[in-house]
Amino acid sequence: MLRSFIALVAIAALAVPRSAQAQPSAADIAVAKQQYESGKKAAKDGDYDTARRYFLQSLAVAPHPLTLWNLALVEIDSGHPVDGVRDLRKYKADPRAEPEKKKEADGLIEQQMKRIGRVKILVPSNVPVTLDGTVVSDEQRKDAIEVVAGHHAVDAGFPSGSRHMDLEVAGGKEVPVTFDSTTDPTEPGPGPGGGIAKRDEGGGLPCFHSGVCTGTVISLAAVGVAGIIGYGIWQGQANSATTSARGLAPPSSCEGPNRPQVCGQAQSYLDDHDSKLTLSRISLAVGAASLVGAGVVLLAWPRSTKETTGAQVFPLLSPGTAGMGVRGQF
């Protein structure tokens, strides 16, 4: 949402009070005015990142509450509510701020706080901590750190090893971050206060976050499906052999010493039937065992973030053969 910007009517409007210890020179004021105007133009064009940069440069040369106000609006409109609220608070603290804009700032802050959550670091001060890759100072640990609502990551460097925690921070809520030093290095602490603290591997079954487990389950399931399909194929061929044998010679005609010549060929079909029937039963057993094994691995896989082995199960199915093998690094 683009808001209108009030233009500076004179370069002197950017000047700081005479009581200030370091009053900007006329040249500084001219530069600040130029940067301010460039920021206004960029904001009107919807280029908020450029506008933000110009306003910051203007403030660095000659601080003025109007520039700070416009900077806060640009930060809010560009999806940086934490920075916008911070600068609105600075604006309210400036004695030169307009009373009406202070009231408007209160409303904007209240509105934006719905988009902002808080992370409270509860880790010993001698343990280095980063939040989204940025080092958290001792001063920041004294209070909850305001963050944009959403996903965030915390890393702590304990002597026993580094620990990682993924957070889902809700707007208007505070999430405490603590680690139990007696647990696995990636085990997070609780996450009350409206946020969700979770392991680095995320939610759901642990198997879904292990490459070895996922590969094993998929391979076992593939063997199971192949076994069931193989059972159907062998069973169909066995039934076909029986039908062919009966078509050549009924069983009753091949009894006794005077059997027709076709009885030998019928017997061959019957032998083939027995062979195919055996293969179908083996295939069914292998398929069922593989599917059960996949379920067991899926449900019983332990929570661990370290993978030291790699294994892959693969089917062995061919005419006259049914089974499975395992290959990998152990």
Instruction: Give DSSP secondary structure letters for 45-77.
Output: TT-HHHHHHHHHHHHHHS--HHHHHHHHHHHHH
Final residue of a structural domain among 97, 130, 160: 97
- What is the C-alpha separation between 184 and 162, in angstroms, rounded? 10
Tell me, what's the pLDDT at 193? 42
- What is the C-alpha separation between 272 and 152, in angstroms, rounded? 65
126 is a domain residue: yes
196 and 214, same structural domain?
A: no
β pairing state of 174-177 and 145-148? unpaired
318 is a domain residue: yes
Strands (DSSP E) found in the chain: 116-121, 129-131, 134-135, 145-148, 150-158, 161-169, 174-177, 196-198, 310-318, 321-329
- Whether the predicted pLDDT of 73 surpasses 70: yes
- What is the C-alpha separation between 117 and 176, in angstroms, rounded? 11
Tell me, what's the pLDDT at 223? 85
Query: What is the three-state SS of 231-270?
Result: HHHHHHHHHHHHHHHHHHCCHHHHCCCCCCCHHHHHHHHH
β pairing state of 116-121 and 150-158? unpaired
Final residue of a structural domain among 200, 230, 265: 200
41 is a domain residue: yes
At residue 190 the predicted structure's pLDDT band, cuts being 50, 70 and 90, is very low
Terminal Cα-to-Cα distance of the chain (whole angstroms): 58
230 and 144, same structural domain?
A: no
Q: Which amino acid is at 179?
A: F
81 and 170, same structural domain?
A: no
Q: What is the mean pLDDT of the chain?
A: 77
222 and 192, same structural domain?
A: no
β pairing state of 196-198 and 161-169? antiparallel
Residue 154 token pair: 């915390």
271 and 178, same structural domain?
A: no
- Whether the predicted pLDDT of 300 surpasses 80: no
Count of the separate structural domains present in the chain: 3
At residue 179 the predicted structure's pLDDT band, cuts being 50, 70 and 90, is confident
Tell me, what's the pLDDT at 89? 95
Any long-range contacts for 314-318 (C-beta under 8 Å, 24+ apart)?
Answer: 314/219, 314/222, 314/223, 315/222, 315/223, 315/226, 315/227, 317/226, 317/227, 317/230, 317/283
Query: For residue 113, with 0-12 CB atoms within 10 Å meaning exposed, 13-18 middle and 19 or more buried, which class applies?
Result: middle
For tokens 């169909």, name the residue: 236
Residue 120 token pair: 């409270």
- What is the C-alpha separation between 13 and 66, in angstroms, rounded? 9
319 and 213, same structural domain?
A: yes
168 and 89, same structural domain?
A: no
pLDDT in tens, 213-225: 777 878 888 888 8
Tell me, what's the pLDDT at 143? 93
At residue 266 the predicted structure's pLDDT band, cuts being 50, 70 and 90, is low
Final residue of a structural domain among 200, 227, 255: 200
107 is a domain residue: no
Average of pLDDT values for 85-91?
96
- What is the C-alpha separation between 105 and 194, in angstroms, rounded? 26
Residue 173 token pair: 């809520």
Tell me, what's the pLDDT at 230? 81
- What is the C-alpha separation between 104 and 81, in angstroms, rounded? 15
Average of pLDDT values for 155-170?
92
223 and 283, same structural domain?
A: yes
Query: What's the gap between Cα 226 and its chain centre?
Result: 33
73 and 160, same structural domain?
A: no
Q: Which amino acid is at 182?
A: T
- What is the C-alpha separation between 112 and 85, in angstroms, rounded? 7
Average of pLDDT values for 292-304?
74
3 is a domain residue: no
At residue 281 the predicted structure's pLDDT band, cuts being 50, 70 and 90, is confident
Length of the chain: 330
274 is a domain residue: yes
131 is a domain residue: yes
139 is a domain residue: yes
Residues paired with residue 135 on neighbouring β-strands, in sequence order: 130
At residue 209 the predicted structure's pLDDT band, cuts being 50, 70 and 90, is low
Whichever domain contains 80, its CATH number is 1.25.40.10
268 and 189, same structural domain?
A: no
Tell me, what's the pLDDT at 5? 40
- What is the C-alpha separation between 324 and 330, in angstroms, rounded? 18
At residue 309 the predicted structure's pLDDT band, cuts being 50, 70 and 90, is very low
Indicate the range of 128-137, 166-175, 308-317 predicted with least confidence: 308-317
Tell me, what's the pLDDT at 167? 93
pLDDT in tens, 36-72: 999 999 999 999 999 999 999 999 999 999 999 999 9
322 and 215, same structural domain?
A: yes
At residue 267 the predicted structure's pLDDT band, cuts being 50, 70 and 90, is low
pTM for this one?
Answer: 0.50
- Whether the predicted pLDDT of 232 surpasses 50: yes
- What is the C-alpha separation between 130 and 18, in angstroms, rounded? 42
236 and 170, same structural domain?
A: no
Residue 48, domain extent: 11-97
